[in-house]
Each structure stands twice: as C-alpha cells, then as structure tokens.
C-alpha cells in the first residue's frame, strides 16, 4: 500500500505560510543554513535541556488543503526532521516526541497502518544520518504493541545509536502517562513483594526510577501545536513543573523558526517550582543566601 501518495513538492507548495522554510539539512544538505540565528539564540540565554512536544494538527493541516489525513502525517515527518536537527544544533540535550499515543490505536485501522509504515520508513531513512550527527535514539511506551517490523527496527536503531553523546531523541510510541505510571506501580509492587523495596521507602524520588524516562531530567518546556490546551495523557508525572507553550500552528507547519519562538517565550518565564521570586533570586546567588533568606522569613 502506498502511503506517500502526494509528491512532497506539491505538499510544500500548499503550506499555509506560502514561504520557503529552512528545512533540515539532515535530509537536504543544500538547504539554507540559519547558523547566525542559532548562534544569536544560543548566546542570548538558556537553551532548555529537555523539550517535549505534542505534535498535533496533522489531520487539520491536511483537511484545510483538501488532502487526505496521511498527507498531514507525511508533511509532519518533515517537521520532525527539521526540529530534531535544530535541537541538535542548539545543544538541546533531550527531545521527546509524542509520536503515537495509547489512545491512537483507536483510530481507523487504515490510518494506524499508514502511520506505522510512515514511522518505519522515517526510521529506516533517517537513522544513519542521525547516527552520523551523534543523535541517540530512545523509545518509551508499550513497544511490544507495535507491529513486529517497527519494533525490530526501533530496537536496532536504539542499539545502533546508544553510545552517541549528542541530542537524545526520545520517541514516545504506544505511550501514555497513565500507562507509564501504571507500569511503574506494578514494577514497584513486584519489588516490594520480593523484598527489594520497602513500601515505607517509596518517595517522589523513587517513582522516577520506575518510569520509562529513568535517568532523563523532566522536560523544561512542553510545546503543543494546533492550539489545544490539554496534556492528553503525555508525561503526566514528568510535566509537573514544565513550562507549556501552545501555538496555533499545525504540526506540519511547525518548523525551526517556531521552535526558536517557543524557546524565546520560555526564557521569559520565571520558574518558581512552588517558591516565591525572592527565594529564587537568593538561590541563584548561592545556597548560603537561600538559608539566610529562609531564616529571615521564618526566624532563627
């Protein structure tokens, strides 16, 4: 079954901005480079360590153009390519993409099958280039639920790239936050049953060790495309203090320029983690100052 039904060139001509976008050089080495823009962004402030993205709106993007939904997914892969490359170039350490949720299995069979083929093709086409660019691929979710061929390719790609030290690209596939938490509870219960873990020792520092994202810092920035104000069962535990950026752009129209806008917006946020601004400032100027500040508030 052919899923790449519309020539890429034609789809590109239909992009809503009607302007040429800096498509990732991972796929197109002759594409215009925006190094100066990236350098300015890097110099002017903090680059989030971990960015997570809910890629939404592929279907709406296609519908707006009178195209089949799969055309939106196909163009969405181009956005993935560009954003992955930009993150690598900016020095983002982790990028987690919500590529297929547990709930997505409920979509029409044909769409699920086309999405799986698209994913397989993207992995087959891109992994060598990602590997050359020092990208490490990781996958989270119920990978056993994926078609055998996709599962095999994914495991091979994870293995092939496991020693890379650049961007870690985490693909959330057949993933949901509730699935992750349920699995963590089961695994903890097993460890309690075998005496490896004492129930009384379970704290909020223990639970992350049992989640699929073990060892990965919580996302600093969550981007959601297509304007919905929902977390949609994504990284429920991990997003506790994440800054959220919502754009009206549909995922196939989201390219590196939008990523830069999200990072710039993120920099304007004050991340208080439940504290007050003064405490943060004291913390920034050293632990001693924080102690002094707390003392000044609470008394000796």
Q: Is 131 or 289 the residue whose CB approaches ligand FPP more closely?
A: 131
- Contact call for residue 255 and ligand FPP (CB under 6 A): no
Structure tokens at 199: 């129930």
Catalytic (active site) residue 201: no
Give the shortest CB-3-to-ligand FPP separation in angstroms.
11
Q: Is 47 or 118 the residue whose CB approaches ligand FPP more closely?
A: 118
DSSP string, 193-250: HTTSS-GGG--TTTHHHHSTTTTSPPPSEEEE-TT----TTSSTTTTTT-EEEE-SS-
Residue 244: strand pairing partners: 222
Give the shortest CB-78-to-ligand FPP separation in angstroms.
9
**x/- site string to ligand FPP, residues 76 to 105, per CB under 6 A?**
xx--x----------------x-x----x-
Q: Is the dihedral of CA 32, 18, 264, 254 positive or negative?
A: negative
Kindly name the residue from 4, 104, 131, 233 that is annotated as catalytic: 104
Catalytic (active site) residue 265: no
Rounded CA separation 209/205 (Å): 7
21 Cβ neighbours under 8 A, 6+ residues apart: 15, 82, 255, 256, 257
CB 102 within 8 A of CB 61: no
Give the shortest CB-20-to-ligand FPP separation in angstroms.
21
- Contact call for residue 141 and ligand FPP (CB under 6 A): no
- Contact call for residue 24 and ligand FPP (CB under 6 A): no
178, 196, 94: which is closest to 141 by C-alpha?
A: 178
Which residue has its beta carbon closest to ligand FPP? Answer: 59
Among 41, 171, 197, 235, binds ligand FPP (CB under 6 A): 171
Rounded CA separation 102/177 (Å): 9
- Contact call for residue 59 and ligand FPP (CB under 6 A): yes
User: Which spans of this chain sit near ligand FPP (rule: CB under 6 A)?
Assistant: 55-60, 73, 76-77, 80, 97, 99, 104, 118-119, 122, 171, 251
State the catalytic residues: 56, 104
């Amino acid at each position: 079954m052919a899923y790449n039904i519309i020539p890429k060139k034609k789809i590109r001509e239909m992009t809503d901005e009607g302007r040429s976008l800096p498509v990732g050089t991972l796929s197109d080495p002759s594409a215009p480079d925006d190094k100066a823009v990236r350098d300015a962004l890097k110099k002017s402030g903090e680059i989030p360590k971990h960015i997570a993205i809910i890629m939404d709106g592929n279907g709406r993007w296609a519908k707006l153009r009178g195209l089949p939904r799969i055309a939106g997914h196909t163009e969405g892969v181009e956005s993935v390519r560009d954003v992955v490359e930009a993150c690598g170039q900016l020095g983002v350490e982790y990028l987690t993409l919500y590529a297929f949720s547990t709930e997505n299995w409920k979509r029409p069979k044909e769409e699920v099958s086309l999405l799986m083929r698209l994913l397989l093709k993207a992995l087959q086409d891109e992994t060598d280039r990602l590997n050359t660019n020092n990208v490490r691929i990781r996958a989270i979710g119920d990978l056993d639920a994926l078609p055998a061929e996709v599962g095999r390719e994914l495991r091979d790609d994870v293995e092939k790239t496991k020693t890379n030290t650049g961007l870690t690209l985490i693909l959330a596939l057949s993933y949901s936050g509730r699935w992750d938490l349920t699995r963590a509870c089961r695994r903890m219960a097993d460890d309690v049953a075998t005496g490896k873990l004492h129930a009384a020792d379970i704290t909020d520092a223990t639970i992350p060790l049992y989640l699929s994202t073990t060892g990965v810092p919580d996302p600093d920035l969550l981007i959601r495309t297509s304007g919905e104000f929902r977390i949609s069962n994504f990284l429920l535990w991990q997003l506790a203090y994440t800054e959220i950026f919502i754009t009206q752009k549909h995922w196939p129209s989201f390219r590196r320029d939008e990523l830069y806008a999200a990072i710039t917006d993120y920099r304007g946020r004050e991340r208080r983690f439940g504290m007050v601004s003064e405490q943060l400032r004291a913390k920034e100027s050293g632990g001693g100052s924080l102690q002094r500040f707390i003392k000044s508030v609470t008394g000796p």
